[in-house]
Amino acid sequence: MPASIQRKFIFVVGGVLSGVGKGVTSASLGAIYKAKGLRVTALKADPYVNVDAGTMNPIEHGEVFVTNDGDETDQDMGNYERFLDTDLDSNNYMTTGRVYLKVIENERQMKYKGRCVQVVPHIPEEIIRRIREAAKRHDAHITIVEIGGTVGEYENLLFLEAARMMKLQSPADVAFVLVSYLPVPAHIGEMKTKPTQHASRALNSVGINADMIVARGRLELDKPRLEKLAVFCGVSRENCISAPDVPSIYQIPVKLEEQDVGNKLLKVLGMKRRQTDMKKWHDFVHRILQPEREVKIAVVGKYFGTGDFTLADSYHSVIEAIKHASWHHRAKPVLEWIDSERYEANPAKVKELAGYDGLIVPGGFGSRGIEGIIRAIKFAREEKKPYLGLCYGMQLASIEFVRHVLGKKTAHTVEVSPDTAEPVIHINPNQAANVRNNRYGGTMRLGAYDCALRRGTKTHAAYGADLVSERHRHRYEFNNEYREAIDAAGLRVVGINPESDLVEIVELAEHPFFVGTQFHPEFQSRPFRPHPLFRDFIGACLA
Ligand code: GLN
């Protein structure tokens, strides 16, 4: 048995406003400790009552990030996986709903042996159990725990209470980082520390004092501001860290490490200083900031009129995967979101797609905008524009092919047209029963499944392997009744799940690059390891 290690925990909490960058800060801390040769894992604790992120509207919540073990989690988990270059699982994610559900299940099973089950201590105790369990599962020296929401609000109090209790249990093993925001009001023109002072007080009122403040804002922290933060928030001056806006989130590990953030927190945790090898990150940032050319990608889907911010959030991993692949080719990705409904109103408009180097149709649900998407896919197929279809993008590419190449005009998915005579995309009986009985939460085909690849195809060449594993999140499937026909007509079935014989990848012969995947390859793209299909798709776009 290897000697047991002293596990350390860093809690990251947010002050002043949401969206301040807790997730990227947490992920960056993880990257730094990895670059120090330590084993690291990261958890997200989300305050909402939903058991997972799968039942929330993407407009409200952003992307649902799927882990290998099929958990439907928050997009911050994607940032952790990308920055840590590691696979996480359901141990790394919790919500208020999930914690309560477990405590209530325990109570029903008499696990509290007749005691009165209380919000405190039983809820924080279950939170702590989960944090320690994740640390153990990943055998982590350092476990980073990001608490969702902002200090001072009601919803995340029990997570903060759990953090406080852990600090009491083992004071030397727990550190707190407050990621806060310092606004620069236009009429004043300088950074203001007061909101952060209030956030720090709010944290004090729940029994926690920050060990470090990461000061987010438009500008660098100057000396007077730093002084104020240190004095009024009770944080040492050296632990007030400047984190101004930067062009790319992938610069943040480098920026933080320039201020020796990793060692400063190790000191809080009673650990020795360690060298950091940030070369990979430096090289990567150089690639990002010094592109040699551009690649122009159209992302076609149904888009809601809520502005770019939310939209980009809903496809976070897709965007990151496009970036990783583009940077691999030393190209700067230029993404444009195209609302497919414009091609329904005006089919001739589809010709505008000639102005792009390639086309992506990401995942989606429901009927809105899909006829427009099918028009865009037809254009990509006929005009030989590189195409990558992700999940719904694969299903709709198959429907387009059956309609226009096999001539079966009514071809459809039963998701949209339950009684279609040509159900190219259908539903298996288990899934149909889930839908009939309103069993929506956590019941899709979720998580990693094997996929056997056909040799001599672009897909096989991209992966350079016969068998791969990819993550899924969908309810409907390609109908094997159509398999031989599409394959013979040129939309080749090149990836199959060996256990279920389900179609996982289709690829057009006689086309520079036209691939549709039933799974979501974007979840496994990493900064230093772009996903092979995205990589070769962008390669084809640049060719
Ligand atoms: N709506 C489709 C399904 O449920 C595709 C889902 C997706 O793109 N994630 O099968």
Distance between first and last Cα of the chain = 53
DSSP 222: -
CA of 399 from ligand 1 middle (Å) equals 14
Helix, strand and coil content of the chain, in percent to the nearest 5, comes to 45, 20, 35
Cβ < 6 Å from ligand 1: which residues?
Answer: 363-365, 391-392, 395, 415, 473-476
One digit per residue, the tens of pLDDT, for the chain of length 543 reads: 455 789 999 999 999 998 899 999 999 999 999 999 999 999 999 999 999 988 888 777 789 999 999 999 999 999 999 999 999 999 999 999 999 999 999 999 999 999 999 999 999 999 999 999 999 999 999 999 999 999 999 999 999 999 999 999 999 999 999 999 999 999 988 899 999 999 999 999 999 999 999 999 999 999 999 999 999 999 999 999 999 999 999 999 999 999 999 999 999 999 999 999 999 999 999 999 999 999 999 999 987 555 544 567 789 999 999 999 999 999 999 999 999 999 999 999 999 999 999 999 999 999 999 999 999 999 999 999 999 999 999 999 999 999 999 999 999 999 999 999 999 999 988 889 998 888 888 889 999 999 999 999 999 999 999 999 999 999 999 999 999 999 999 999 999 999 999 999 999 999 999 999 999 999 999 999 999 999 999 999 999
Same-domain pairing of 372 and 342:
yes
Task: Give catalytic status of residue 451 as yes or no.
Answer: no
Residue 79 lies in a domain: no
Same-domain pairing of 318 and 422:
yes
Residue 240 lies in a domain: yes
Same-domain pairing of 206 and 233:
yes
Picking from 229, 250, 284, the residue at the C-terminal end of a domain is: 284
Strand arrangement of the beta sheet that strand 477-478 belongs to: 412-413, 423-426, 477-478
Picking from 264, 284, 304, the residue at the C-terminal end of a domain is: 284
Same-domain pairing of 308 and 356:
yes
Residue 346 lies in a domain: yes
Picking from 284, 313, 348, the residue at the C-terminal end of a domain is: 284
pLDDT of residue 102: 97
Task: Give catalytic status of residue 522 as yes or no.
Answer: yes
Q: Which atom of ligand 1 is closest in space to residue 425's alpha carbon?
A: 10
Residue 26 lies in a domain: yes
Q: What whole-number distance in Å separates Cα of residue 72 and Cα of residue 76?
A: 12
Q: How far is CA 230 from CA 46, 199, 224, in A?
A: 29, 13, 10
Range of the domain at 502: 291-542
pLDDT of residue 344: 93
Residue in 257, 522, 531, 541 annotated catalytic? 522
CA of 445 from ligand 1 middle (Å) equals 10
Same-domain pairing of 302 and 405:
yes
Residue 55 lies in a domain: no
Q: Which atom of ligand 1 is closest in space to residue 390's alpha carbon?
A: 8
Would you list the DSSP string of 17-28? Answer: STTSSHHHHHHH
For a substitution probing ligand 1, which of 475, 502, 522 has the most ligand atoms within 8 Å of its CB? 475
Please work out, in degrees rounded to the nearest 5, the angle formed at the alpha carbon of residue 64 by the alpha carbons of 326 and 288.
Answer: 20
For a substitution probing ligand 1, which of 434, 473, 478 has the most ligand atoms within 8 Å of its CB? 473
Residue 60 lies in a domain: no
Neighbours of 310 (CB within 10 A): 15
Residue in 391, 426, 451, 472 annotated catalytic? 391
Strand arrangement of the beta sheet that strand 293-301 belongs to: 331-339, 293-301, 358-361, 387-390, 514-517, 503-508, 491-496, 445-453, 467-474
Q: Which residue has the tokens 């209470």?
A: 161
Same-domain pairing of 261 and 315:
no
State the CATH number of the domain containing residue 150: 3.40.50.300
Same-domain pairing of 479 and 431:
yes
Residue 269 lies in a domain: yes
pLDDT of residue 189: 86
Into how many domains does the chain fold?
2
Same-domain pairing of 381 and 266:
no
Q: Which residue's alpha carbon is nearest to atom 6 within ligand 1?
A: 474
pTM tops 0.75, yes or no: yes
Same-domain pairing of 219 and 360:
no
Written as one letter, the residue type at 484 is E
pLDDT of residue 307: 52
Beta pairing class for 387-390 and 514-517: parallel
pLDDT of residue 491: 98
CA of 519 from ligand 1 middle (Å) equals 9
pLDDT of residue 305: 55
Residue 59 lies in a domain: no
3-state secondary structure 68-113: CCCCEEEHHHHHHHHHHCCCCCHHHEEEHHHHHHHHHHHHHCCCCC
Q: Which residue's alpha carbon is nearest to atom 1 within ligand 1?
A: 365
Spell out the long-range contacts of 413-418 with Cβ–Cβ below 8 A and sequence spacing 24 or more.
413/476, 414/476, 415/365, 415/366, 415/367, 415/475, 415/476, 416/366, 416/367, 416/370
Q: What whole-number distance in Å separates Cα of residue 102 and Cα of residue 124?
A: 12
Task: Give catalytic status of residue 391 as yes or no.
Answer: yes
State the CATH number of the domain containing residue 389: 3.40.50.880
